[in-house]
């Protein structure tokens, strides 16, 4: 059987897979393939309505690793206690990944491509995919199974949410050349198309509508489709007034992200400055 079939079989076995050498072998093969970028929790698919396909079996394999793991003291310079199937990854200079000292951690089963820069402290969880030239700044999080494209900048304290269950749920996806400002949060399967810019403090979730004042549209997640931020959109934190009830009487408003423009030459200049700083 191929790796997918083996993972699905051992995952379906439930607790019976515990202690099974064949199940552990399948998981370790998956973990190695994830770290090499050969398999992904989600991958581009031109035939999908969102342009992406979720590989549920990969998530099953990641969960299988937690099921098979036993608590164990890990690490040499620092002390950890975690499932032995998910130690912190170690890198070599030949891999071309710049992991700066200061308390960062990349969990086993995560992929970091050549040219990624990781500033401390930051964390990348199992199943995540971080493509070439991306900068992960201090206090940034890349959650489980999140997909980060080429040349993305995750500014300080940016939070990219993760997802393992349900296994068919779409992870957060940031396509190439996205700029995420400081203290941003992207959660619940949101897709941010290439070259979009999220200004500092922007929070995107499945339940939060995004008001596109340029094109006169309100963007929402609908049915099985996640919230999708269009290519080149510049999104800032905004507010909309409460129109009825006590909130209206008090003059209150609630948070909402707002697309105020689409990338132009000035925005491109800021992106070029980011490249110089790397």
pLDDT tens digits for 206-217?
A: 999 999 999 999
By the 10 Å C-beta count (0-12 exposed, 13-18 middle, 19+ buried), 143 is classed as buried
Tell me: the pLDDT tens digits for 66-105? 999 999 887 777 778 999 999 999 999 999 999 998 889 9
The series of mean pLDDT values per 10 residues for the chain, 278 residues long, is 95 95 98 98 96 97 97 79 92 94 93 97 97 97 98 98 91 97 97 97 96 97 94 96 93 96 80 61
φ and ψ of 34, to 5 deg: -65, -45
Domains and CATH numbers, the chain: 88-277 (2.160.10.10)
DSSP state of 10: H
Tokens representing 166 are 């349900």
H/E segment holding residue 210: strand 210-212
Identify the pLDDT of residue 277: 53
């Amino acid at each position: 059987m191929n790796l997918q079939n083996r993972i699905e079989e051992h995952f379906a076995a439930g607790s019976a897979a515990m202690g099974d050498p064949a199940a552990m072998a399948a998981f370790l093969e998956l973990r190695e393939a994830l770290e090499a970028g050969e398999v992904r929790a989600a991958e581009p698919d031109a035939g999908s309505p969102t342009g992406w396909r979720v590989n549920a079996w990969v998530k099953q394999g990641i969960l299988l690793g937690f099921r098979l793991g036993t608590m164990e003291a890990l690490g040499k310079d620092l002390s950890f206690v975690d499932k032995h199937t998910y130690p912190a990854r170690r890198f070599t200079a030949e891999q071309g990944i710049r992991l700066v000292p200061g308390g960062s951690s990349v969990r086993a089963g995560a992929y970091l491509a050549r040219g990624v820069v990781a500033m401390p402290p930051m964390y990348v969880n199992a199943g995540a995919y971080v493509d070439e030239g991306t900068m992960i700044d201090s206090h940034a999080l890349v959650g489980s199974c999140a997909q980060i494209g080429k040349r993305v900048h995750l500014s300080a304290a940016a939070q990219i949410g993760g997802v393992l269950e349900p296994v068919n749920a779409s992870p957060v996806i940031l396509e190439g050349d996205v700029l995420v400002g400081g203290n941003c949060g992207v959660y619940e399967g949101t897709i941010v198309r290439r070259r979009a810019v999220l200004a500092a403090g922007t929070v995107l979730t499945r339940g939060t509508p995004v008001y596109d004042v340029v094109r006169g549209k309100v963007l929402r997640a609908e049915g099985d489709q996640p919230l999708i931020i269009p290519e080149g959109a510049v999104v800032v934190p905004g507010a909309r007034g409460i129109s009825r009830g006590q909130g209206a009487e008090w003059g209150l408003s609630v948070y909402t992200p707002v697309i105020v423009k689409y990338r132009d030459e000035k925005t491109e200049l800021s992106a070029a400055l980011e490249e110089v700083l790397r």
